[in-house]
């Protein structure tokens, strides 16, 4: 019989991964601000309270530090909590717990303690959320030993990677971009786990590699379609997990194309793209025919005005211009 498939939105795929894990495993539960009756700020947990009850879908007070600390304690005692931080900007309020406790307890205990905590958070530009509700912070956490950082760009990846995050014995910070929630994809009814640390070739190409994250993956694919009209063959690599990073997938692609563009929505200065550019320069320099191009947001707090926001954040036009520069067509 043919495999049954259902059309999931990104939002529904995240909800499905959590729900399937909770049906299977009584140690999995969710807590966060307004996640129960209200269903969360982006309605990702909508309906879960009715299925699992208030003991497993827990509203939390407005204290990200306390919420994350409670998740760490529950994880160290053998549960697999999923903590939702309403906006990723508010991760700043949980930094102490994440960076100095969740990331380090397993190492400092010689492996005697595990911290299987998944911290889900959402944010990003594109809806005039301004400087305190729309910034991209994933790069801050990639440099913290002991944390894993996941940033899926499709419903399939969101579902499969969240499942793997829940069942990882380390703390995982799981980023979801608000502009991706309504993206839809046909998925099999049976959930397919995706291992952390394995990149995806979103589009094969020969002339230039674009390494893109989060919302810049669909933008890079659109830029690649545009570049194809100019006779430029673009390969798009989606790392999916920023830590651990699938270095070999990136390097293999660059060795094939001899050119590289890195694109993310976070600010360009000290961003994740700088790490990828350094990786390519250190380990694939002899294959490069042009300098690595970086695409990112301007070094500014995110503006509130829609016109200024559009001017600040990168989209397909900036990726396309970088592709043209690196192949010497501009």
Q: Which of 101, 133, 177, 264 is catalytic?
A: 133
Q: Which of 12, 64, 84, 88 is catalytic?
A: 64
Neighbours of 93 (CB within 10 A): 16
The span from the CA of 147 to the CA of 88, in Å, is 16
Collapsed DSSP state (helix, strand, coil) of residue 184: strand
Closest-CA residue to 85 (of 70, 100, 73): 70
Give φ, ψ of 118 to 5 degrees.
-110, 120
Q: Would residue 53 be called left, alpha or beta, if left means φ above 0 and alpha means ψ between -120 and 50 degrees?
A: left
Residue 33 burial (10 A CB sphere; 0-12, 13-18, 19+): buried
Give φ, ψ of 218 to 5 degrees.
-65, -30
Q: Is 264 a catalytic residue?
A: no
Q: Is 177 a catalytic residue?
A: no
Closest-CA residue to 38 (of 21, 29, 50): 50
Sign of CA dihedral 40, 265, 181, 95: negative
Enzyme catalytic residues: 64, 133
């Amino acid at each position: 019989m043919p495999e049954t498939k259902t059309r999931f939105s990104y939002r529904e795929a995240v909800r499905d991964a959590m729900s399937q894990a909770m049906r299977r495993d009584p140690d999995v539960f969710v807590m966060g601000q307004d996640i129960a009756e209200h269903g969360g700020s982006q309605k990702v947990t909508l309906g879960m309270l009715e299925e699992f009850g208030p003991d497993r879908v827990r509203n939390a007070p407005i204290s990200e530090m306390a919420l994350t600390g409670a998740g760490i304690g529950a994880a160290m005692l053998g549960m697999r909590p999923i903590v939702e931080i309403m906006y990723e900007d508010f991760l700043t309020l949980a930094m102490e717990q994440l960076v100095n406790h969740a990331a380090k307890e397993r190492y400092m205990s010689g492996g005697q303690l595990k911290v299987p905590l998944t911290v889900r958070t959402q944010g990003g530009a594109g809806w005039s959320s301004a400087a305190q509700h729309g910034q991209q912070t994933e790069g801050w956490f990639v440099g913290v030993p002991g944390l894993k950082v996941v940033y899926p760009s499709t419903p399939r990846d969101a579902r499969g990677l969240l499942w793997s995050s829940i069942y990882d014995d380390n703390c995982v910070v799981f980023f979801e971009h608000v502009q991706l929630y309504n993206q839809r994809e046909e998925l099999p009814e049976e959930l397919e786990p995706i291992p952390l640390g394995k990149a995806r070739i979103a589009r094969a190409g020969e002339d230039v590699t674009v390494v893109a994250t989060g919302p810049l993956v669909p933008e890079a694919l659109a830029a690649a379609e545009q570049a194809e009209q100019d006779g430029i063959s673009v390969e798009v690599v989606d790392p999916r997990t920023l830590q651990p990073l699938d270095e070999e997938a990136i390097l293999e692609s660059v060795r094939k194309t001899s050119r590289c563009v890195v694109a993310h929505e976070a600010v360009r200065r000290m961003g994740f793209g700088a790490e990828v550019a350094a990786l390519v320069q250190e380990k694939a320099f002899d294959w490069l025919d042009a300098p690595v191009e970086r695409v990112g947001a301007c070094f500014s707090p995110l503006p509130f005005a829609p016109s200024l926001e559009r001017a600040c954040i990168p989209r397909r036009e900036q990726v396309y211009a970088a592709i043209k520069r690196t192949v010497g067509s501009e």
